[in-house]
Amino acid sequence: MSLRVVLVGWGAIGRTVAGLLSTDSIELVGVGIRSERNLPDVPTTATVITDPRDLSALAPDVVAEAASREAVIPWGRAALAAGADFVVSSVSAFADPDALADLRSAAIAGGAQVQIQTGALTGIDALAAARPMRVDIVRHRIVKPPAAWKGTPAEDLCDLDGLTEPTVFSRSSAAQAARTFPKNANVAMTTALAGIGPDETEIILVADPTAATNRHELHAEGGFGTMDVVMANNPLPTNPKTSAMAALSLVRAIENRASPIAI
């Protein structure tokens, strides 16, 4: 029996995910978008919906969000109320602690689960596993080419066009970074929730004119030991602000739900 999946969002990530999902064990039964429009590239198996209240009619097993932080609460509530697990990509939504509490309550009431997928990061499984033995410090550097920071508050914090060397333009908590840079620093909240929390996790944002990839440098210390991991992501060809691994990790999160063996 196929896993019935609804994707929320039909941008660069949603389209990539749909194209990579295994059709042997997964059926894409719906695509949720914000407003009515023609989507000629949606698979014929999928019904396009614009109202989260229409989710239940599609009887999904999993609803996977790849849209925006504004989509997380309405689609998450509807998915969980329908008894479907909800996979979150726009983790910056949880910079608002009420949002996380809201979906936690909805998951309990619906007998379902909220899964925060790892996105463009590596080492998140180890960071989360380390918590019972104490994590004291978590520092996450996000390094991207200047062009990837265009259209964000970074334009007011440094001269993106005139940089000749890597430049730190922001140091803040994960909560602040996720609120200020919801797309570019979306993963800041993933790191925070896996480790020591949104207010204690340090996020360092860097514009690097020599960078050819989107790079994440994660450092953690605690009773478990010391962890240093680096992930250099190629951007999605259709969206330079999004790492290809963000889509690949969502594919993995969905396919693990359908597979008899998950890793």
pLDDT tens, position by position, 210-230: 999 999 999 999 999 999 999
> Is 242 in contact with 15 (CB distance < 8 Å)?
no
% of residues, the chain, pLDDT over 70: 100
Of 38-42, 68-72, 97-101, 105-109, which gets the smallest average pLDDT?
Answer: 38-42
Once rounded to an integer, what is the mean pLDDT over residues 156-164? 97
| Amino acid identity for residue 83 in this structure | G
Choose among 181, 260, 254, 222: nearest CA to 19.
254
Cα–Cα distance between 233 and 236 in angstroms, integer? 9
Mean pLDDT computed over 180-208: 94
Cα-to-chain-centroid distance, residue 124: 12
Active site residue 216: yes
CA distances from 20 to 25, 91, 244, 249, 255 (A): 12, 22, 12, 11, 10
Angle at 75 between CA 72 and CA 81, to 5 degrees: 120
Class of CATH domain 124-241: alpha beta
**Percent of the chain topping pLDDT 90:** 89
CB environment 20-46: b (16+ within 10 A), e (fewer): ebeeeebbbbbbbbeeeeeeeebeeeb
CATH topology of domain 3-116: Rossmann fold (3.40.50)
For residue 149, what are the contacts with CB-CB under 8 A and spacing of at least 6?
155, 160, 169, 184, 205, 207
Q: Which of 216, 220, 222, 231 is catalytic?
A: 216
Within the chain, all domains assigned CATH 3.40.50.720 are found at: 3-116
| Length of the chain counted residue by residue | 263
Side chain identity at residue 163, one-letter code: L
